[in-house]
Amino acid sequence: MENIQKEEMLRIKGGGISVWAMLGIGALVTFVAGVIDGIVRPLSCSR
């Protein structure tokens, strides 16, 4: 196994997904779950 210097370790880029991408995916999953819930279990307005 090769040892690398501290400077080389700091230059390594990891992961391929940003925080904004994770938040966007979470928002999309929440929206789709709400749409499916609304279709499967429609609730009437309480007016």
- Please write the tens of the pLDDT for every residue from 12-34: 877 778 889 999 999 999 999 99
In a domain, 5, yes or no: no
In a domain, 37, yes or no: yes
Of all residues in the chain, what percent carry a pLDDT higher than 90? 47
Amino acid at 21: A
In a domain, 4, yes or no: no
In a domain, 47, yes or no: no
Question: What's the CA gap between 12 and 3, in Å, rounded?
Answer: 14
pLDDT at 47 over 80: no
Number of domains in the chain: 1
Question: What's the CA gap between 5 and 10, in Å, rounded?
Answer: 9
In a domain, 29, yes or no: yes
Q: In this predicted structure, what is the pLDDT of residue 1?
A: 63
The overall pTM is greater than 0.85: no
C-alpha dist (Å) from residue 40 to 10, 37, 43: 50, 5, 10
pLDDT at 35 over 90: yes
Q: Tell me 33's DSSP state.
A: H
pLDDT at 8 over 80: yes
